[in-house]
Structure 1
């Protein structure tokens, strides 16, 4: 389910089926389809492994960032990211087990049961909302960090936990509203099939997800999803990444002439570098998905013949981004590293 959405393997076609079009004569498209068929059996195991690591890492992030002495404007946003990413990965695991590991990737009565597909719909709707919240929290953090560095007085006035919680609340509400069309567009369909090739018994059922017969709702949902949960946040992240880099260089020049508060300036710079790494990873993970969605809406058959074969790889890229922040915090934040070691080394000593 590319990018945790309902756009790839939950379409009316089976995961390995593609619409026939002029794309089939294209060598690169055929290569993509071949790659997809070869990679799909591996995807479940790889994705579950990344999810287990990511869930554990995000639990550690939440544990450390919410300790006494760690709560701050920036850390409240990072905690929100950890909660969003952890929920998304936790919801993804049961889907992977059912749809990739236990019953393979081909539709069947055992794989596509009513309960499994119902969970698939719920998972896709919730994970789309939660993952979009994560993206917009990253955008909001990048905007605030730039403003605080560029205009220090704004940072002094609004750089507090109350403002951070208010900003997070606004993001959650706005993203939930934007995702309403996606939440109501899809429904379940039951198809009766023979139990075997020589029998006419149609007692076996294969459940799947289909779109409601509402062209306007479908188009509204598609473009809102493509623009407001992928392309727009990706563009904003790229823009403010450049702004942060420029502002950091300017701050370095000013710091070279400073004799006071140099320690604070160095700590602020390390925090900005860490946040910049988080932002750039989000750009790398989300921009390809946004571009593919845009092309899918502009080029006939692009979705079925290019986007769908790349769906699982998009998911892997997104999962890595969701789970890698713990590594960034440990390597780039002395404060996070010290608190983590003090918490868990102390716990280890108690049980030794």
Structure 2
């Protein structure tokens, strides 16, 4: 369908997406810079609190690895947002923006950020698996999810994920030189992509402009000659990095929610039947056995930990699943969808991923009493100790501590 003599209506995403992209693009650099600064502070605090000796546990080790991966993503994104989004909005000369060194950083950013984000994704999956085992197979938790196994799993994620993400991006994209006609202020007059194997005649440069060599990261010549390379890139990104973890997390989250509801039902039934109830064993009427308060409290702590981690998982699904769908559609529908939809929503996908990387600190503080207590003890000014009470210690001199399956004292993010 034609919209005019020279314009054709987009095949997939229409004017609304274009208008939204144009409006949000101006603000994306500032919004992402703000989110990144807060996220760096939050993840740094996460690492400091979770690595305290009294906080060490398999669950918290995974959360620490997750915070490190998220922290590196945000550190890397700050120069990308500032140079790539903020400077262009300030009319910074294009010949200083699109330099060869900046193109090298953009390619590094595309590889490094994707690798770190992939590590974060698979650590989130590991967190869900560990929680599922703890809830559904508690007798196997010590064997399957001990500290040594957890550290080995985290190290594996940091080694394997780069092997999955680096080759497709490195092969599929390259730094491409191109020519633009710029005025005396460095603004674009006319764009002319040329073959750099030939010499550009000075007669091509209009009197009011300069022919300047700029650089950008674009599809490599190898990927243009062999389209399956880019298709493989999109399938790896959308299916292996996004959709498979999302489906796994969805199933695990459903099972965890079902386990929580079942545990709540059992406790309610136990509470209602425990007072004065009798039952028959071998023909004799005996008191119905009751769980002691310590066992009941331990079950409640397990449920609170599961609820907090479910919040982490559901937030992940809301931010990552749409990106996986868009990547898969780009692989199946080709360049028109990629150019008309995927690129237009690129900044939105970035800011959602950044928010997901930075918001865990808020979840921990809101849902974990032990995290809040440890945080306050670490960062509260000393002069406040005269007026504000310090958390009560147990017999070992530690605060709000549980015990792992090996009988060693440990603390998990498990108290509300």
TM-score by length of 2: 0.75
| Residue 291 (str. 1) matches residue 329 (str. 2) | no
Instruction: Give the secondary structure class of the aligned counterpart of 1:259.
Output: coil
**Pairing 1:240-251 to 2, within 5 Å after superposition:** 240-251=252-263
Q: Distance in 1 between matches of 2:100 and 2:176?
A: 9
Which is worse superposed, 40-49 or 163-172?
163-172
Give the CA deviation at 1:186.
1.6
Q: Indicate if the aligned counterparts of 2:110 and 2:169 stay in contact, CA closer than 8 A.
A: no
Which is worse superposed, 85-94 or 250-259?
250-259
Q: Indicate if the aligned counterparts of 1:147 and 1:155 stay in contact, CA closer than 8 A.
A: yes
Aligned partner of 1:126 among 96, 112, 115: 112
Give the CA deviation at 1:98.
0.5
Q: Distance in 2 between matches of 1:83 and 1:21?
A: 47
Q: Distance in 1 between matches of 2:175 and 2:53?
A: 47
The C-alpha deviation readout for 1:297-328, integer Å capped at 9, x for no partner, is 22241111111111111111111111000000
Q: Distance in 2 between matches of 1:37 and 1:332?
A: 38
Q: What is the root-mean-square deviation in Å for CA atoms of aligned residues?
A: 2.2
Residue in structure 2 matched with residue 101 of structure 1 by the alignment: 86
| Residue 325 (str. 1) matches residue 356 (str. 2) | no
| Residue 313 (str. 1) matches residue 348 (str. 2) | yes
Q: Indicate if the aligned counterparts of 1:55 and 1:323 stay in contact, CA closer than 8 A.
A: yes
Give the CA deviation at 1:21.
9.2
Unaligned runs of 5+ in 2: 1-5, 184-188, 190-205, 271-289, 386-416
The C-alpha deviation readout for 1:73-126, integer Å capped at 9, x for no partner, is 100010011101110011000011101112339992221111112111111101
Residue in structure 1 matched with residue 213 of structure 2 by the alignment: 205
Matched residue pairs, number? Answer: 330
Q: Distance in 2 between matches of 1:21 and 1:136?
A: 44
Aligned partner of 1:170 among 148, 156, 159: 156
Which is worse superposed, 175-184 or 127-136?
175-184
Give the CA deviation at 1:229.
0.6
Give the CA deviation at 1:201.
6.8
Aligned partner of 1:76 among 51, 61, 66: 61
Give the CA deviation at 1:200.
8.1
Return closer, same or farther for 1:21/1:297 CA change in 2, 3 Å cut-off.
Answer: farther
Q: Indicate if the aligned counterparts of 2:181 and 2:212 stay in contact, CA closer than 8 A.
A: yes
**Pairing 1:1-352 to 2, within 5 Å after superposition:** 23-24=9-10, 29-104=14-89, 108-179=94-165, 180-196=167-183, 197=189, 198-199=206-207, 204-212=212-220, 213-214=222-223, 215=226, 216-256=228-268, 257=270, 259-260=291-292, 261-300=295-334, 301-346=336-381
Q: Distance in 1 between matches of 2:215 and 2:313?
A: 39
Q: Distance in 2 between matches of 1:105 and 1:138?
A: 38
Q: Which has the higher contact order (CA 8 A, sep 6+)?
A: 1
The C-alpha deviation readout for 1:217-261, integer Å capped at 9, x for no partner, is 322222111111111111111111111101111222333436231
Instruction: Give the secondary structure class of the aligned counterpart of 2:230.
Output: helix
Bigger fraction of residues in strand:
2
Q: Distance in 2 between matches of 1:325 and 1:250?
A: 27
Residue in structure 2 matched with residue 15 of structure 1 by the alignment: none
Which is worse superposed, 329-338 or 257-266?
257-266
Which is worse superposed, 110-119 or 328-337?
110-119
Bigger fraction of residues in helix:
1
